[in-house]
Each structure stands twice: as C-alpha cells, then as structure tokens.
Chains A and B, each alone.
Chain A
Amino acid sequence: MSTTCTRMMVIGYGNPGRLDDGLGPAFAERVTDLRLPSVTVEADYQLTVEDAVRIADYDMVLFADASVSGEEPFFCRPVVAVKGTEFSSHHVAPEQVLHLAASLFGVTPQAWVLGIRGYEFDEFGERLSEPARQNLDQAVKFFQDAANSGWQLLADAGTGHGQAQTTTTTRMQ
C-alpha cells in the first residue's frame, strides 16, 4: 500500500472522565504528538453522524476506542459500511458512520477499528489504569509502525478478532 497522497483520519473516542473509557481520546492525543504527515486526528466523546462528513475527505479511517473484551493489548480489524436500524447519538457504530458516508457522500474510505483493551470503567476518574496505559503504549507503537510500513500493517490486519467488543458496542447500548 502506498502512502503517496494517502490521507488518513484517526478518530479516538470515549469519555476521559470514565477511567479506561478514555483510551480512545488518549490514543488520539498520542498520535497527534507523532506529527505524522497526511494523518489528521480527531477526538470526541462518541462517534456521531457528522463524522460521516469528516471522513468523507479521507482515503483511510482508523476508529480508536476502548475495548472491554478481546485480545490484549489491542485488536485491529477492518470494518465496512453496515446499515443499522437502531440509532442514538450515544450509539453510532463505525459501520454506521461508514454507511452514512457512503449513502450521503458516495465515499467509502478503507477503515479499521482499533480496540485498545481497558479494565476499569465503572467509576468517575480522569486516569487510565496501569495495564490500560501499557496497552495504549503498544497500540501507539503499532500505529507508528503501520505508518512507517506505508500502512501495510493495517492492510495485513485480519478479521480474526471479530468477537472483541469496544465500549461503543457494549456499554452504549
């Protein structure tokens, strides 16, 4: 995969006030600090419909969220547009954002979900647990390596982690 003119958007989402639910925004912050060319980073509390507008100008999108189950330290799997039926602004899945982008703007960027494993969610607090912080370090390293590989590492990401769920798919329902 060539990086020439490839535009990548990273959206890290979650609530930093709910401990490890803040892994997505923390990932976004760390990726921002990498200052990678052609990579745009956004952070938000959750995915929303206007993310369909945001991703419309990009060739690739990485949705970074906290994971409540699945592999440690993280999983990375491709996602494609899927039309859903249930919807609230608390709960727009990456697949639905992609579906909106395809339906409204005719764009279908390549996309992946990066689920960083977290452990503590059920209280207020602006900190990451130590194991989650270590997982975050490895996820950031993976992303940097992926950039250095011309995104080949992302292209190689398999589909074997489909059972793992992010906070969006479990906690926000």
Chain B
Amino acid sequence: MAEKHVYIEPVTRIEGHAKVSIYLDEKNKVKQARMHVVEFRGFERFVQGRPYWEVPVLVQRLCGICPVSHHLAAAKAMDRIVGAKKLTATAEKVRRLMHYGQTFQSHAMHFFHLASPDLLFGFDADPAIRNVFGVVQKHPDLAVQAVKMRAYGQEVIKATAGKRIHGTGAIPGGVNKNLSLAERDVLLKDVEQMVAWARSALGIARDYTTAHLKELAPFGSFDSNHGGIVRKDGTLDLYDGRFRVKDAKGSMVIDQLDPMKYLDHIAEEVRSWSYMKFPFVKSLGPGKGWYRVGPLARINVCDRIDTPEAEAARVEFMKLTDGKPNNITMAYHWARMIELVHAAEKIRDLLHDSDLQGADLVVKGERQFEAVAVIEAPRGTLWHHYRVNENDQVTMANLIVSTTQNNEPMNQAVMKVVQDHISGKAEITEGMLNHVEVAIRAYDPCFSCATHALGQMPLVVELIDVHGNVIEKRGRA
C-alpha cells in the first residue's frame, strides 16, 4: 500500500513562504514531518562589491518586515569597519530608540494579528472567523489597540530612521540625526498609553498560558538549548551584548561570546531538502547543538531585565519552571509580551533622556577590514559578518538570521505536534493541520528574510507513493 504525504502549503499567518510535509504510512502513522523552505538564498552576493557605507541601507531590502534590525546590525558592523569602538551617547540612544520601536511594533503585530486568532477562538475554530478580521469583529477594542500600537512603533522608527522606507538614521560610526524636541513631544504624548496597552497584552498572554497550561505545556514542546545576547552582568539587552547559550536544564554552554569569534563556536549544517541552513553550537555537534532564539530563549538565558515591570514579569514567568529554562513552545507568546512591556518602558525612559537631543553624532577611528555584529531582532539573534577591501568595497557578507537559528526547533515542534495530534487519525481535518501552524507561528518566523528570497519559486504540492509516483496534488489554502 502506498505511503501518503500530506502537505500544508502555504503555512499561513507567518512571514514569507514555507511548506510542511507529513509522511504517513498505510495506517496514517507519521513516519516523518518536515518544514521546508522553498526559496533560494542569494542576498549576500547582492552586497558584494558595494561600498561599505551603503550596506546599512541596502540590507533593509532583505524584506519589509524587520528592516530596522538589519539596518542596525549592518551599521554596528560598519562601526567596527570605521574603527568606532564606542559611539556617542546620542548616537547609541537614538539607535536604541529605533530598535525598541521596531521590537514594540513587531511584537504587537505578531501577538494581536497573527497569534491571537488561535488563542481567542481556539486552534480548531472555523478558519472563516479564526483570523484577524474575526478578532476585529469580536474584540474591536483589542484590534484598535493593536493597530495603534503598531502605528506608534512605526512612528518611533520614522522619527529616528528618517522614514519608514530607505531609513538612513544609522550610519557607520553613529547616526545622521538626533531626535528633535518636536519629534520627542509627539512620541511622548502617547507613550504612557502604549505602556498601559503593553501591560494589558502581557496580562492576556500570561492569563491565557496559565489557564491552558495543561494543554499548552506539551504542545509542540521539547527540551532544547536557548541562545540570546546579554550584557556582561547577564542583563537582557536587545541592542548590544555578547552571545550566551544555556542548555535545557539551565547549564551554561556558551557565555560572553565575542561576536568576532562566532565562527569558532557556531556552524551551519546544510540539508538537501531545505534552502534554509541549520545552525548549531560546534562543541555539541549538529545533533545536540541546535538552539532556540527569540523571546522565549532570551528570557531563559538572561539573569535580569533592567526595566521594572518587565523584570517583575520575568520573575513571575520563571517561577513557572522553578527558575530553570522554560521549554514550552507556546510560552513564546508570554515571553514576547514581556519584551513588549520592556520595549515600551525603554521607549518611555529614552524619550525623557536629553542625550537624544545631543549634537555629537559620529565617531571614527582606525580603519578595519572585517567586522561581525550581533543584535537581537524581534524574532531572535541576528548576525552580520562582512569583509571590506582597501577600496571600501564589501568582498564578503554572511548573515545568520533568527528564523534560520529556529529552523531545527521549528522542525522539532512540527514533528511533536504531528505525532500528538495527527498520527494514526483516520481523517485529517483543517483543525489538525492548523495545530501544526500554531506551533510554527509561536516562533514568529520570517522566511523571506531567512532565505533571502530571490524571486518567487514555483511551489508544488504532491502526494507521492513509495514508487515515487505522484498520486495526488493537494493544497492547504
């Protein structure tokens, strides 16, 4: 009897394209489940030969979802290239404000518009209402908050980067503008409301998780390593720090990794069935060295948060697992909302800091020819590595993005959900397939960025028997 393959394509309410293949035997038992990325990686070639000072603007073209993270990661790398060891207070704080604005809008967007339909209506709910428009209809107040939070974050970006598209705020060695008093006052007007709404969103995520803990704890969950950057004292820092990895029990695997030495500790495995690579900690090998990144991992690896409401929330969050790393996939949502509050608190604090109106914007030093920078993008750790020649041209670029580091974890989550909710069932329903997507969405993946998509690749949905014959074509949407 023929084996059956079930495909979910495209996976919905994520950024970019992905496909899930589920291989069933004749009794509908799962043999294998994989999340494929079917686009081609090619962006690094695009920046080769370009002058280094253009790179912070060019990399924003990777995709429109988190251009600020790429903009700042590239700018941080180019700081090293121009020998700027320490930025001015104004430059660093303007960049941080931009970064927290990005985090704020991205996390609000994901929680309310991409994840909340599953949480508010249930994983099995009718897909006709289990979407953002269903949220608008049933919870209009939440929907209004969400779009206004997103809009506020975008205004922070616009005020610091210059504009939403082609932002040029961060330049090698600093920034090209400060935050004017007029811009500050516009943002100050609504910041307390943003903190309040973020606090409310955190409450929703926390209460949902604790109320449904019995179902959520095993859902797509598994033990894993966790990675993120922290300061020297272990404090969470989304803009700058050194990489730390803890294992599933909380033991330190890597700490205070100098970004320039990342290749000594991190490698990327290539597998024939996906364009997206599989990063891992070298000392543990590809089988055990893969790690999660993003909000859950960051909260797991840091020792504290330097804003009071987010820190109180982190302490409460860690109590759930007695201070050990939380390996519950669905806890990503709660962790993400802790960071939403943190970002709102940081924006508020920075807006009251007069350094933002300073005039000392750029520093330079001894020219360098290679640089690595690391930053925490909303979806997780983001690495930018460049070499620049004596003619100021980029000769090599390598980017490891958040979703790539979450590649193996998302595959693990898919396999776990498929085994628990699909394997052996006589009929496979839309609700079952949505369970798989719910697990993937917890990571807030962005595949456009992860694969550096170069055009739209043709997508094929096929059922193939043991002899390699296509027996059926089937789509999810």
Chain A residues proximal to chain B, CB less than 8 Å = 15-18, 25, 42-46, 48-50, 52-54, 83-90, 96, 99-100, 103-105, 121-126, 171, 173
Which listed residue, B58, B63, B147, B454, touches A100 by the CB 8 Å rule? B147
We find that the number of chain B residues with CB closer than 8 angstroms to chain A is: 45
Which listed residue, A16, A90, A96, A121, touches B448 by the CB 8 Å rule? A90
B404 to chain A, nearest CB (A): 18
A25 contact set on B, CB distance < 8 A = 165-166
Given contacts A25-B165, A50-B151, contact A85 B42 (CB under 8 A): no
Q: In the complex, what residue of chain A is closest to B11 when comparing beta carbons?
A: A88
A46 contact set on B, CB distance < 8 A = 64
- Whether B64 contacts A88 by the Cβ 8 Å rule is no
- Whether A104 contacts B456 by the Cβ 8 Å rule is no
- Whether A48 contacts B150 by the Cβ 8 Å rule is yes
Could you list 19 further interchain pairs (A-B, Cβ under 8 angstroms) beyond the known A15-B63, A17-B61, A45-B63?
Answer: A17-B58, A17-B60, A44-B64, A44-B164, A45-B164, A50-B147, A53-B148, A85-B131, A86-B13, A88-B114, A89-B15, A89-B109, A89-B114, A90-B15, A103-B136, A103-B140, A122-B456, A124-B46, A124-B454
B148 contact set on A, CB distance < 8 A = 50, 53
CB within 8 Å of A: which of B21-62?
A: 42-43, 46, 58, 60-61
- Whether B455 contacts A122 by the Cβ 8 Å rule is yes
A77 to chain B, nearest CB (A): 23
B46 contact set on A, CB distance < 8 A = 124-125
A12 to chain B, nearest CB (A): 9
Which of B67, B131, B137 has its CB near the most chain A CB atoms (within 10 A)? B131
B113 contact set on A, CB distance < 8 A = 49, 87, 89
- Whether B64 contacts A83 by the Cβ 8 Å rule is no
Which listed residue, B12, B131, B147, B164, touches A49 by the CB 8 Å rule? B147
Which listed residue, A48, A84, A122, touches B133 by the CB 8 Å rule? A84
Give the distance in Å from the alpha carbon of A66 to the alpha carbon of B437 in the complex.
30
- Whether A104 contacts B455 by the Cβ 8 Å rule is no
- Whether A87 contacts B454 by the Cβ 8 Å rule is no
A55 to chain B, nearest CB (A): 11
B136 contact set on A, CB distance < 8 A = 100, 103-104
Given contacts A15-B61, A49-B146, A85-B133, contact A43 B165 (CB under 8 A): yes
B455 contact set on A, CB distance < 8 A = 121-123
Given contacts A16-B166, A44-B164, contact A87 B151 (CB under 8 A): no
- Whether A88 contacts B13 by the Cβ 8 Å rule is yes
Which listed residue, B10, B127, B147, B165, touches A85 by the CB 8 Å rule? B127
B421 to chain A, nearest CB (A): 22
Which listed residue, A49, A85, A104, A173, touches B128 by the CB 8 Å rule? A85
